[in-house]
Structures are given as C-alpha cells and as structure tokens.
Amino acid sequence: MSIPIPEIQVVFDHPEFIVINKPTGISVHREPHLDESQQMPSILEIVQQQLSIPNLWLVHRLDKVTSGLLILAKTEQAASALSQKFAQREIQKYYLAVSDKKPKKKQGSIIGDMEKSRNGLWKLCHSKQSPAITRFFSKGLGGTRLFILKLETGKTHQIRVALKSIGSPILGDVAYAGSPSDRTYLHAYMLAFNYQDEDISIIQAPTQGEHFLTPEFETQLSDYAQPQELNWP
C-alpha cells in the first residue's frame, strides 16, 4: 500500500536556501528500521522531487513528530555556513507546544544536562556541565496549556524532555508520558538570523492538529506574534 505524499509548503525562498513548513509524521532521514510498505521518503527527497531540485542539504533537524520551520540549503557552501550559525548559536529558535497537564511553573528556564535513557529516549539531569537550556512562557487554553519556548541549545528531544521535567509532557507525545492525541503538539514556530548581512525573520503558525487550530489558540497565539521581543526569563 502506497503512502500518500503531502505537498510541502515553502515559506521562504532564498537563492542559497529554502525554509519549509515540515508536516508532522515525516522524518528528515529515511528510516531503515521500517519495511518498504511503511517507508515514506525523507523530507529531503519529497522536496527535491516536488521542486525539481537535484540536491538539497539538511542544515538542522526536527523530530519526525515535530512540524514547522526547517532550513534546506541549495549548495554545500550554504549548508556549511548555516550549520556553523546553528553550532555557534547565532540562529534564534522559537517553538510552540501544547500540554494537557499543569506545569510546576508557568514560566522560567529549564536547565540541565541530558543523558540517554532507554529505548532511544533521553532524560534531564541535575548536573549542568554541558546543559540543555530552554526558556518558556505559558498560558491557559481552557483545558490545555500553550507553551512558547526559546531554545538556547539544540539537544536531541530537548523540548520534549524539558516539558516532561516540569510535569507538562507534550500532548500526543506518548514516548515522554504525554496523553494520546491526533498528533504530537510541538511546532517550530520562528527562526531569526543574519545571513550575508541580511536580517531574516521567518514565522509560521501550525497548520495541523485540532488543538492548534481552535479560535482560542489563535487568539492566545496573537500575544506571541513577535517572540523575539518578549522579556525572556
């Protein structure tokens, strides 16, 4: 049975890279553990075919369950330059998440080393030798809670682990104790950086998920229309 391939939205088109709105449920890489009947092309393969571009380079990664802004470079040189910006923390990254569990604190910072747990998962530690750093604000949505998060670092599963650590695992993220839902409610919302002396700021609201598409969510999200201007903890 063939798996339907979605149309990928190009949010920003630069001569040297594109920024797409990655759907949830698509991996940035092929998944070798899946058999052919379950295998979907990687996001790179889908976009290359859709746009008739022979080569694109992955600059950073989003988890399969995460939707939102993903940069794909058109040249090796751009891939190297942009990857370096991520490594040197010169790219501001903001995410949205929804949880149906009340957090231990409504805003603040979550800081700690991360170490591998089991089954490919991670956990947050009290030590801070090379810590994951996540800043956040949250507000009630009536039965659920909206989080906006700023990543100071880019560790694997960082937000998923951080929100679990404060008692608010992401809705749909059953791997990290989240309640079952129609999707994992984590979305890469905004990227801001300077590239070749041009200030680039890209924002993309979620387009998938019943809890991301309610009128109340849209109303509350309007307070976070300029996340870089918030007084981050």
- Of 184, 39, 139, 153, residue with least CA distance to 89: 153
The C-alpha angle 119, 28, 95, rounded to 5 degrees, equals 85
CB 22 within 8 A of CB 42: no
What are the backbone dihedrals phi and psi of residue 7, each rounded to the nearest 5 degrees, phi first? -75, 130
Question: What would the two tokens of residue 157 be?
Answer: 């599963």
DSSP codes of every residue in 86-136: HHTT-SEEEEEEEESS--SSSEEEEEE-EEE-STT-EEE-S--SS-EEEEE
- Of 227, 212, 201, 167, residue with least CA distance to 24: 212
Q: Which residues are annotated as catalytic?
A: 63
Q: Where are the beta strands (DSSP E) in the chain?
A: 9-14, 17-22, 57-58, 67-73, 92-99, 107-112, 114-116, 122-124, 132-140, 145-151, 186-195, 198-203
